[in-house]
Homo-oligomer: A and B are copies of this chain.
Amino acid sequence: MGNQKPLRIDGELNLIDHIRQRFTKPPKGLFDGSAAEALYGVPRLAIGIGDDAAVLRAGGKDILLTTDAMVEGVHFDMTFATPFQVGHKLVSVNVSDIYAMAGRPAYMLMTMSIPVDRVAEAGGFVAGFLDGVETALDTYAVELIGGDITSSKGGISVSATLVGFTERPVLRSGAMAGDGIYVTGNLGDSACGLHLLQRINRPVAIEKEETINIPLAWRVMEPLLRRHLMPVVNAPMGNLRTNAMMDISDGLSIDLRRLCTDSGVGARVYETSLPCSVEMIEAAAFLGLQPTMLALCGGEDYQYLFTSPEPVSGYRCIGEITESGVVFIDADNKQRELIRCGYEHFKD
């Protein structure tokens, strides 16, 4: 302390960079590992701050650790979401980080801070939230092993730490020029679902098969609302030859830039290759939105972005890794810089 440059924060990435630089310890000479490893012979830190999860190398399987917080008014809003959905999503977003490292989730710890008057209310937040957590834990075969429950003076905030394991973690930093860029599923569905929800302007208990009657077919709305309110994340297939991988949580554009930065490479992405669901395209027309913008800039897709040196069947190739620059080839075959967009805390 005392010898850092004054802390100036302009966006979440800047703050994360500051913390990564400040708290990443240099290798310790002979030991070439962490303080704890040198002192006590415990698993050493293989990957620290900055990827989807930290990696501890224990001899057998690597241990993966990730944590995510969700704050009322920022990540969820009880005028748009049910407590069940908040609990379900807390588990899913953390599981997504483990899958993004080519790992399997196993155990979860959870914190829950709730205003006193909202804890006691019958049929209130806690009961529904725990239902959602339990349903998601069952879905992913994850066990809750600990946590902390506190009161709060403002809104509700929750966080979870997921523990997973992997034989071989896949990092953000391994992309090589010439790799194909792949995504594991449709982009923009969640963002489109959020726009629909803002139009509907109240919670939709999709977990209870509630339907909504607005001038857009329910078969169109349902998968989009579900992707936003209650995403179920799927592990990428296990036998892929991947050089780099991460989950798409803040939008393809910003997340692809992060992968390129961490790998020291560039990328070329084709508009005509972006996977958009027929439901998203139809709903975007209804809402007056552009599908391509939803696919590039919409957050919370919880699909995976990966690169591979060989053709991969079963997943959509959206472009290729290049030496430098992040460029976009539009439907008219015009080349431009990929639009800068996506969700950042503390920006604007």
Chain A residues at the B interface, C-beta cutoff of 8 Å: 1-2, 6-10, 12, 15-16, 19, 22-23, 25, 34-37, 39-43, 45, 48-49, 53-54, 56, 58-61, 63, 65-75, 104-107, 109-113, 116, 119-120, 122, 126-127, 130-131, 134-135, 137, 141-155, 157, 159, 161, 163, 165, 345-346
In the bound complex, CA of A127 to CA of B1 (Å): 10
A157, chain B: closest CB distance, angstroms: 5
Interface centre among A110, A141, A154, by most B CB within 10 Å? A154
A12 to B, closest residue via Cβ: B149
Contact A65 B109, beta carbon cutoff 8 Å: yes
From B7, B40, B147, contact of A130 by CB (8 A): B7
In the bound complex, CA of A346 to CA of B66 (Å): 29
Contact A345 B150, beta carbon cutoff 8 Å: yes
Contacts of A39 in B (CB 8 A): 104, 141
In the bound complex, CA of A67 to CA of B161 (Å): 8
A1, chain B: closest CB distance, angstroms: 4
Quickly give the copy total for this chain. Answer: 2
Contact A15 B54, beta carbon cutoff 8 Å: no
In the bound complex, CA of A112 to CA of B49 (Å): 14
A70, chain B: closest CB distance, angstroms: 8
From B2, B49, B148, contact of A144 by CB (8 A): B49
Contact A67 B126, beta carbon cutoff 8 Å: no
A109 to B, closest residue via Cβ: B67
Contacts of A105 in B (CB 8 A): 36
In the bound complex, CA of A348 to CA of B157 (Å): 21
The 10 closest A-B pairs by CB, nearest first: A154-B154, A73-B153, A36-B106, A69-B111, A54-B145, A161-B161, A23-B144, A54-B146, A1-B131, A151-B345
Contact A153 B120, beta carbon cutoff 8 Å: no
Contacts of A42 in B (CB 8 A): 61, 104, 106, 165
From B45, B61, B69, B150, contact of A107 by CB (8 A): B45
In the bound complex, CA of A148 to CA of B159 (Å): 9
Contacts of A106 in B (CB 8 A): 34, 36-37, 40, 42-43
Contact A36 B104, beta carbon cutoff 8 Å: yes
Contacts of A45 in B (CB 8 A): 107, 143, 145
From B36, B66, B73, B130, contact of A22 by CB (8 A): B130
